[in-house]
């Protein structure tokens, strides 16, 4: 976090390892800014202000803002690249082999992507809000507000102002200075818009990468769900086969149980050859029951080909 003034930048913790590169970049890009000459006359003082602005490519606060935006965008882009390098191989591995370990890894990556997307979206929305408000952009030009006061108040107006013989020349100089300030303010607003739009596009590119990654994760999840549904259907088919076989065996066991009862029958005597026929017919009927159930399931589309 930093606070940018018209001639200085305040950092919350400049000794932090993540902030030190920003401090070094600020020191490199932001030399001491000040007025090289002091003049008593209003016209000469205003000329000195314009000379400094022409000498510097952009105001101090714009350069400080550029350093801050560059650091933020670079950080978010780097985190996005790291996330992509970790996420895509993990998703491919999960596609080839579904396991608890791979699922947990993808879950953590998805959580990290959600947090990073929220950060990128927040910064992007702030820049978009700034770009939509020209009045607020003009307020960001701090050095103009600090370096030049109101043209009329800067003349030291008093009761003697209206009695001065040079009143017309003073008003003329004040009007020219005011118009120059307005034109200069418009130019710097356009410069600030170009600066913000450049980093807005960079953030938009980063957000598009995260959106693409999210879509890839969603596609992978859909593919995994399809695989799980396919395995579930295979298990249901196996359960149907086992249930059908169990029903057929139960019929065979029923016949065995009936003939195993200790009940006297007159046809039990002298009919030993019937045993093998009962066993054979019962087995054939059991197999036919299983096949009929299987064919019925195939006809209704309950099992695959």
Q: What is the pLDDT of residue 224?
A: 92
The topology (CATH level 3) of 2-229 is Methane Monooxygenase Hydroxylase; Chain G, domain 1 (1.20.58)
Residue 83's pLDDT band (boundaries 50, 70, 90)?
very high
Summarize the confidence of residues 195-221 as an average pLDDT: 92
pLDDT at 237 over 50: yes
Summarize the confidence of residues 160-185 as an average pLDDT: 44
Helix (H) or strand (E) holding 292, with range, is helix 274-299
CA dihedral 42, 47, 52, 57 (to 10 degrees): 130
Residue 148's pLDDT band (boundaries 50, 70, 90)?
low
The phi, psi pair for 16, rounded to 5°, reads -65, 145
Q: Is 243 helix (H, G, I), strand (E, B) or coil?
A: helix
Strands 9-11 and 2-4: antiparallel
Residue 277's pLDDT band (boundaries 50, 70, 90)?
confident
pLDDT at 177 over 50: no
Summarize the confidence of residues 21-43 as an average pLDDT: 53
Q: Are 203 and 120 in contact (CB under 8 A)?
A: yes
Summarize the confidence of residues 263-280 as an average pLDDT: 70
pLDDT at 199 over 80: yes
Tokens of 43: 């016209």
Q: Are 117 and 80 in contact (CB under 8 A)?
A: no
Q: What are the residue ranges spanned by the domains of the chain?
A: 2-229, 235-299
Place of tokens 């356009």: 190
> Could you give the CA distance from residue 303 to residue 305 in angstroms, rounded to a whole number?
7
pLDDT at 6 over 80: no
Q: What is the pLDDT of residue 11?
A: 63
Helix (H) or strand (E) holding 4, with range, is strand 2-4
Angle between helical axes of 20-29 and 60-96 (0-180°, round to 10): 140
Q: Are 6 and 145 in contact (CB under 8 A)?
A: yes
> Could you give the CA distance from residue 77 to residue 66 in angstroms, rounded to a whole number?
16
Tell me what percent of the residues of the chain surpass a pLDDT of 70: 58
Tell me what percent of the residues of the chain surpass a pLDDT of 90: 23
Q: Is 9 helix (H, G, I), strand (E, B) or coil?
A: strand
Q: What is the pLDDT of residue 52?
A: 41
Q: Is 56 helix (H, G, I), strand (E, B) or coil?
A: coil
Q: What is the mean pLDDT of the chain?
A: 73
Q: What is the pLDDT of residue 51?
A: 39
Which of 160-169, 184-193, 234-243 has the highest average model confidence (pLDDT)?
234-243
Return the DSSP state at 37: -
Residue 157's pLDDT band (boundaries 50, 70, 90)?
very low
Helix (H) or strand (E) holding 15, with range, is none
Burial 189-217 (b: 16+ CB within 10 A, else e): bebbeebbeebbebbeebbebbeebeeeb
């Amino acid at each position: 976090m930093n606070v940018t003034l018209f001639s200085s930048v305040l950092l919350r913790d400049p000794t932090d390892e993540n902030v030190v590169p920003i401090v070094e970049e600020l020191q490199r890009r932001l030399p001491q800014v000040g007025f090289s000459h002091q003049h008593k006359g209003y016209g000469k003082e205003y000329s000195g202000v314009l000379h400094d602005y022409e000498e510097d490519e952009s105001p101090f606060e714009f350069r400080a803002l550029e350093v801050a935006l560059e650091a933020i965008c670079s950080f978010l882009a780097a985190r996005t690249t790291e996330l992509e390098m970790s996420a895509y191989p993990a998703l491919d591995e999960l596609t080839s082999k579904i396991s608890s370990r791979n699922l947990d890894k993808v879950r953590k990556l998805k959580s990290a992507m959600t947090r990073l997307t929220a950060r990128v979206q927040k910064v992007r929305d702030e820049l978009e809000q700034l770009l939509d408000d020209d009045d607020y952009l003009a307020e960001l030009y701090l050095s103009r507000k600090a370096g030049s006061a109101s043209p009329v108040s800067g003349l030291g107006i008093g009761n003697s102002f209206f009695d001065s013989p040079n009143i017309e020349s003073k008003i003329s100089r004040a009007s020219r200075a005011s118009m120059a300030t307005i034109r200069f303010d418009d130019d710097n607003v356009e410069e600030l818009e170009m600066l913000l739009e450049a980093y807005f596009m960079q953030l938009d590119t980063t957000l598009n990468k995260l959106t693409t990654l999210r879509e890839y994760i969603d596609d992978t999840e859909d593919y995994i769900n399809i695989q799980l549904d396919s395995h579930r259907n295979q298990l249901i088919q196996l359960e149907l086969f086992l249930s059908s076989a169990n029903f057929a065996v139960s019929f065979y066991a029923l016949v065995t149980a009936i003939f195993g009862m200790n009940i006297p029958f007159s046809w039990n005597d002298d009919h030993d050859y019937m045993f093998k026929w009962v066993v054979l017919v019962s087995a054939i009927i059991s197999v036919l029951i299983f096949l009929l159930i299987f064919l019925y399931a195939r006809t209704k589309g309950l099992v695959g080909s």
